[in-house]
Structure 1
Amino acid sequence: MGLTSKKLELLIAVLAVACFVATVWLWPRLSRTNWRALLGRVGLLLVSQVLTLSAILLAANNWGGFYSSWGDLFGTDQGNGTISTPGTQASSTRPGTARSWVEPAGDPRPVALEMPGVQADGGTVEQVRVHGGSTGLTEDAYVYLPAEYGQPAYAHADFPVVVVFTGYPGTPENLITRMKYPTVAAQAIQQHQMQPTILVLMRPSVAMPRDTECQDVPGGPQAQSFFTKDLRTAVASRYRVGLTARSWGVIGDSTGGYCALSLALRAPQSFAAAVSLSGYYNAAHDSTTGDLFGGDPTLRQQADLMWRLRHLPGAPVSLLVTSSKTEHDWKATQQFVAAVKAPTQISTLYLPSGGHNFATWNRETPQALRWLGTHLNSPTTGTS
């Protein structure tokens, strides 16, 4: 059974309860002082605690979407395999070649509009695998196509794209099940508060279980190049999208928020606008990242967004940051906003209260997506 299987979660929970009952039932019989009774008590307690902890962790993982498979959990799934899909011409080409492409990995699924009394097409979501030609990296993703993408009036239109990042170590599924990005986008488009836009939903790390912080690691994964070059080329190989920076935006929460700001500030030729939901402003350095900069203090410095704002010319991009007075990043966000200088433009979305969690981000996402849409090109024909 898969790591996220409901059957596995239920089975472990039932076993945990059964073991607890067995412990209560057998404890009087194991009250003797001989070594067999002692080992019996230790065994029952150990098995009961392991099963209970496993049930809790499985439930937490399914709720938060932290790991999507056993390989993801143990670090054996490095994203270098190839999904075989009938009728996919890209399946015969290996990752690591000069070409970047998107490979379908599942049938399209309709998006629920979730608007009472409104009967309309919410668009579709496709599961894909993105192959990066210049970096040799491969990453799973979901692509949301608005209903307009398949309509005759837009048959020759190039659509704007928003890259949506999870936090670390989130999964792309989390962006659909927990944060409902496709539905939020579909609702905004239906209400004419956002132009028809393609979403590419993925996690910011391209070398799980390592957290790359969207950096080009010396001698390691070239995450920044993957997102600023390969991803754009790959998406354009399959979908009708604009190619200029004004057709591309990026949004993310937590680590994904840092990545969104970092990519826009460091590669304004690739992204014109970025949104950070409870993001931070300097690349993390811990056991999950390892040494991202090869011991080079200059590279470390350049990953510090505050340093970039204070010492480098402003980038021609539009940024939106969110926070609340009860969040731990409140002061850092104030300092970041104060440090922004032209031509960089900064907007803020502050809630009266909130935390570093899905509930807060779900309150911010509708406004943030609408803001992002106003800073990107509308679907165009040949002038993207």
Structure 2
Amino acid sequence: MGLTSNNTLVPAVLAAVALFAGTVWLWPRLARRGWRSVSGRIGLLLATQLLIFVSVGLVANQAFGFYASWADLFGRENDQGVVVDHTPGDRSSGPLRVTEIGGVPGRSGFRPSSVGQVQKVDIIGPTSHIASPAYVYLPPEYFQERYRTRTFPASVVLTGYPGTARALVDKLHYPRTALQLTKDGRMRPMILVMLRPTVAPPRDTECADVPDGPQTETFFAKDLPEAVTAHYRVGRERGSWGIIGDSTGGYCALKLAMHHPQVYAAGAGLSPYYKAPVDATTGDLFQGDKKLRNRANLWWCLKHLPAPDTSLLVTSSKVGEKNYKDTLKFIERVKATETTRISSIILESGGHNFNTWRREIPATLEWVSGRLSGR
């Protein structure tokens, strides 16, 4: 049974309820002072608390998408093999392969030309040698005859760490929200490429090119846009790509837009931070290289590097987010530049969670769409 499956959650909850009821029922029989009665009481209490803890953990994991599988939870993911087959004209091979095709969750109808389509794909980077699964949302217009020669803008959408790409579809509702915004005339049709920044699990690379390690920045700045553009009708001109992310993904979105403005014309960070941490999940990202460490610090970049020609969006809340003061400071730093544009969403209150980001996503998609080109 999968970690995120209801077939796992429901038995765990039922077992916790049954054990709690059993504890209440048996407690009078175990009220004596003998070692057996004491041991029984201790055992029942520990078992009940353990099952309650497991049940709450499973519910939280389903709600927030921390881990996708048991292997992910215990750090045993090792699917990093790379096989690249290049057959001209064959879209079943190459740097992007479609593995599953489905509809937009929460929207009735099966015709792609009316509700769009969500494709699960494998993206294989020939330069970075990184392979990662992703979900691609194609808007209804992509399948309509009158748009058959049109190219579309695209945005990368990133989770936090560790995150699950599927949560962007099922929990944060990016495809459903984009579909509704387009129908309402609030944004142009846009392709979304949804994945997590943890492309070398279980390590958190903070979207950096790690010396003698995963070349994550190269994957997002070069391999991914090239693979998607070669497979789908995405615009090839400058200004065709945006990038959005929450938490760690938000930091990555800002950094990639600042470092690669020729690729990403807009970068939106939902609840981002502005400097790459170094901790147990990241390992030694920079191997003592001061230049790499400085480059991963967005404060340093704003002060010491030419301001990039890109548009940035940052979000926070006055109550509930730890990044509020840093976000206000970041806005002022960017405003002081001549070529980088900055926008913000500041909520009165909202924690670092899915509910807050769902409140920010519609305005974010509308903002990104307005800053990208497409023909």
- The two structures have a TM-score, normalised by structure 1, of 0.88
Quickly say closer, same or farther: Cα 1:32–1:199, change in 2 above 3 A: same
Deviation of 1:82 after TM superposition, in Å, equals 8.3
Query: Given the alignment of the two structures, is residue 233 of structure 1 paired with residue 229 of structure 2, yes or no?
Result: no
Query: Given the alignment of the two structures, is residue 342 of structure 1 paired with residue 338 of structure 2, yes or no?
Result: yes
Identical amino acids, percent of aligned pairs: 49
Deviation of 1:289 after TM superposition, in Å, equals 1.4
In structure 2, the partner of 1:129 is: 122
In structure 2, the partner of 1:16 is: 16
2:47 aligned partner, one-letter code:
V
Deviation of 1:198 after TM superposition, in Å, equals 0.3
CA distance in structure 2 between the partners assigned to 1:368 and 1:24 by the alignment? 50
CA distance in structure 1 between the partners assigned to 2:23 and 2:349 by the alignment? 45
- Check conservation: 1:111, 1:124, Cα contact below 8 A: no
Quickly say closer, same or farther: Cα 1:354–1:22, change in 2 above 3 A: closer
Measured against aligned partners, the alpha-carbon deviations of 1:258-280 in whole angstroms (never above 9, x if no partner) come to: 00000011112221111111111
- Check conservation: 1:172, 1:202, Cα contact below 8 A: yes
Quickly say closer, same or farther: Cα 1:361–1:328, change in 2 above 3 A: same
- Check conservation: 1:281, 1:306, Cα contact below 8 A: yes
Q: Secondary structure at the match of 2:114?
A: coil
Query: Given the alignment of the two structures, is residue 105 of structure 1 paired with residue 138 of structure 2, yes or no?
Result: no
1:259 to 247, 252, 262: 252
1:309 aligned partner, one-letter code:
L
* Matched length: 363
Alignment map for 1:111-122 (pairs within 5 Å): 112=106, 121-122=114-115
Quickly say closer, same or farther: Cα 1:102–1:41, change in 2 above 3 A: same
- Check conservation: 1:112, 1:122, Cα contact below 8 A: no
Deviation of 1:224 after TM superposition, in Å, equals 0.6
Deviation of 1:90 after TM superposition, in Å, equals 7.0
Alignment RMSD: 2.2
In structure 1, the partner of 2:270 is: 277
1:323 to 316, 320, 323: 316
2:249 aligned partner, one-letter code:
G
CA distance in structure 2 between the partners assigned to 1:188 and 1:235 by the alignment? 23
In structure 2, the partner of 1:159 is: 152
- The two structures have a TM-score, normalised by structure 2, of 0.90
Query: Given the alignment of the two structures, is residue 208 of structure 1 paired with residue 201 of structure 2, yes or no?
Result: yes
Unmatched runs of 5 consecutive residues or more in structure 1: 94-98, 115-119
Q: Secondary structure at the match of 1:352?
A: strand
Moved more, 120-129 or 309-318: 120-129
Moved more, 140-149 or 103-112: 103-112
Deviation of 1:112 after TM superposition, in Å, equals 4.6
Quickly say closer, same or farther: Cα 1:221–1:81, change in 2 above 3 A: closer
Q: Secondary structure at the match of 1:272?
A: strand
2:233 aligned partner, one-letter code:
R
Q: Secondary structure at the match of 1:347?
A: strand
Deviation of 1:89 after TM superposition, in Å, equals 6.1
Deviation of 1:329 after TM superposition, in Å, equals 1.4
Deviation of 1:316 after TM superposition, in Å, equals 0.9
Deviation of 1:247 after TM superposition, in Å, equals 0.5
Deviation of 1:297 after TM superposition, in Å, equals 2.6
Measured against aligned partners, the alpha-carbon deviations of 1:6-56 in whole angstroms (never above 9, x if no partner) come to: 121110111112222222333343444454444433332222222111111
